[in-house]
Amino acid sequence: MPKVLIIGAGGVGGVVAHKCAAATDVFSEVTLASRTRSRCDKIRDQIVELGGREIRVEQVDADNVPETVKLLRDVQPDVLINVALPYQDLTLMDACLEAGVDYLDTANYEPLDVAKFEYSWQWAYQDRFVKAGRMAVLGSGFDPGVTNVYCAYAQKHLFDTIEYVDIVDCNGGSHGKAFATNFNPEINIREITARGRYWEQGEWKETDPLSVAKIFDYPGVGERKSFLLYHEELESLAKHLRGLKRIRFWMTFGESYLKHLEVMGNIGITRIDPVDFQGQKIVPIQFLKALLPDPSSLAAGYTGKTSIGCLVEGLKDGKRRKVFLYNVCDHAETYKEVRAQAISYTTGVPAVTGAIMMVTGKWKGAGVWNMEQLDPDPFLEDVAKRGLPWHVEERAV
C-alpha cells in the first residue's frame, strides 16, 4: 500500500494528517513533518486520542532542498502533500524531482517579498516533471481545488459551452474574536489587500482592493455582501474552460473585519517590506502574524457554516442554463471530527482526496496539472465520502 508524507503542521496540516490516518484502506504509513516538531507531536497525540492510528512525525525545513530530499529518501512516500506555505512550493517541487516522488499542494507559489499570485513559476516545471515521469497536482484545496473540479464537472456533464463563472466563497461562521484570520494571516492578508482582478473577453481587468461588491444568497447561510477579489484559480480556469467569456471570484467579509483591515493598512502594519525597528529589520505583516490568534486555535467554539460554490452559466443543447454547484460545511461538526474549523477542513479534505486520486492511479500522467484538467468524477465521489458532499442546483437564467 502507498505511503504519504505531509509537510506543514498548521490548521490544514492537522486535518490532512487526521484524514490520511483515517484512510487505512489507502495509506499503509503516514508521516507528518514540519519546521516545528512539537506541532507535529501535538497533532499525532490528537489523532491517537480520537481513536486513530499512530503516525510518524519528523522535523524538516522545507526551504532546504537537500534536507527535504534526505527525508524523502528515508520515508520513501508515493506522494508528498505540501500544506506548508506557498513560499515552500518550489523547493518542495525541486526536492520531489530529485527524490522521484509525486507532488501535490493547495496554494500557488508566492515570493516572500512581492504579493504576486500566479502559476508561471510552477507551470515552468512542466518539462522537468514530464522528463522525470512524475506528477505534480497544483491547488488541491477548496478554492483553488474543489471549485476547479466543480467547473470541470460542469464542463464534462452539464454544459456544451461555459460562458460565465462566479466563484462565491462565504464564511458565515463566528470565532468570537475581534479580529483573526481563518488561515495563515500573512497569506490571507496579502491576498485580500491585493488589487481585485477578473477575466473578461480574453483580458484581465483590475479593480481597487475591495471596491466592488454584490449580494449573493448562500445555501445554509443566507444573503451576504461579497467582494470581488483576485484568486489564483481564475488564471488556470480562464485558460482551460472552453468558450469562457468571464470569470470572477467573490468572498464575504463582515463590517468589523473590513474596518480592522482598513485601520491596519492605514497604519502600515500589513506592509510586506522590511522596516527598521530599533536597529533591526522587521517585516510588519510577520510581526502582526505573531500577535494574531493562531488559526488552528480558533476551532474550539467556532459556530456557523461555510458555503462555497460555483455559479456557472452557459449553453446546453442550444439552450441557456445556470447552475450552482456548492458545499456547505459546519465549523462545530468539523471540530468534533478532527479538532479543526471548517476553513482548514474544507482545504485539507480535498488535499487528501487529490493525493488518493494520484496513488490509486485514478489520476495519472507525468507533468504539472491544475485540477480542472483531470477527471472530476472519481474526485467528487471520494471527496463527498470523506466529508465534503456537493450539490447541484438549477437556477433561473
Which residue, judged by CB position, is nearest to ligand NDP in the bound state?
Answer: 10
**Binding marks (x or -) toward ligand NDP, 183..202, rule CB under 6 A?**
xx--x---------------
Q: How far is the CB of 140 from ligand NDP (least distance, A)?
A: 8
Among residue numbers 6 through 25, which ones bind ligand NDP (CB under 6 A)? 7-13
The Cα 327–Cα 332 span in angstroms is 16
CA neighbor of 303 nearest in space, from 337, 334, 281, 325: 334
AA letter at 354: G
β-pair partners for 368? 136
Of 34-42, 253-261, 279-287, 360-368, which segment contacts ligand NDP by CB under 6 A? 34-42
Amino acid identity for residue 281 in this structure: K
Interface with ligand NDP, residue 143, by CB under 6 A: yes
Stretch 195-254 residues interacting with ligand NDP (CB under 6 A) = none
Using the minimum distance from each CB to ligand NDP, give the nearer residue, 188 or 366.
Answer: 188
- Per residue in 40-52, is it b (16+ CB within 10 Å) or e — as a string? bebbbebbeeeeb
Cα separation, 188 vs 171, whole angstroms: 14
| Beta strands at 222-229 and 213-218: parallel, antiparallel or unpaired | antiparallel
| Closer residue to ligand NDP in complex, CB, 264/299 | 299
Give the shortest CB-33-to-ligand NDP separation in angstroms: 7
Give the number of other Cβ atoms within 10 Å of residue 94's Cβ: 16
Contact characters 90-109, ligand NDP, x per CB under 6 A = ----------------xx--
Residue 142 found at the interface with ligand NDP (CB under 6 A): yes
Q: Binding string, 334-373, against ligand NDP, x = CB under 6 A?
A: ---------x---x--------------------------
Question: Per rule CB under 6 A, is residue 39 in the interface with ligand NDP?
Answer: yes
Enumerate residues 53-82 that contact ligand NDP by CB under 6 A. Answer: 60-63
The answer to whether the CB of 116 falls within 8 A of the CB of 110 is yes
Please report, for residues 63, 102, 104, the alpha-carbon distance to residue 92 in angstroms, rounded to integers and kept in the order given. Answer: 8, 10, 10
Q: Which helix (H) or strand (E) holds 227?
A: strand 222-229
- Interface segment toward ligand NDP; rule CB under 6 A; list 1-9, 70-78, 251-259, 315-323: 1-9
CB of 49 to ligand NDP, least distance (A): 19
Distances from the Cα of 42 to the Cαs of 11, 48, 57, 352, in angstroms? 12, 10, 10, 20
CB of 151: closest distance to ligand NDP in angstroms?
14
Q: What are phi and psi of 334, to 5 degrees?
A: -70, -30
Grid cell for residue 361: 492511479
Identify whether the C-beta of residue 245 lies closer than 8 Å to the C-beta of residue 201. yes
Judged by CB under 6 A, which stretch of 35-43, 153-161, 321-329, 384-392 contacts ligand NDP?
Answer: 35-43
Binding of ligand NDP by 83 (CB under 6 A): yes
Region 282-301 residues binding ligand NDP, contact defined as CB under 6 A: 295-296
- Ramachandran category for residue 110: left, alpha or beta (phi over 0 → left; psi -120 to 50 → alpha): beta
**Residues making contact with ligand NDP (CB under 6 A):** 7-13, 34-36, 39, 60-63, 83-86, 88, 106-107, 139, 141-145, 183-184, 187, 295-296, 343, 347
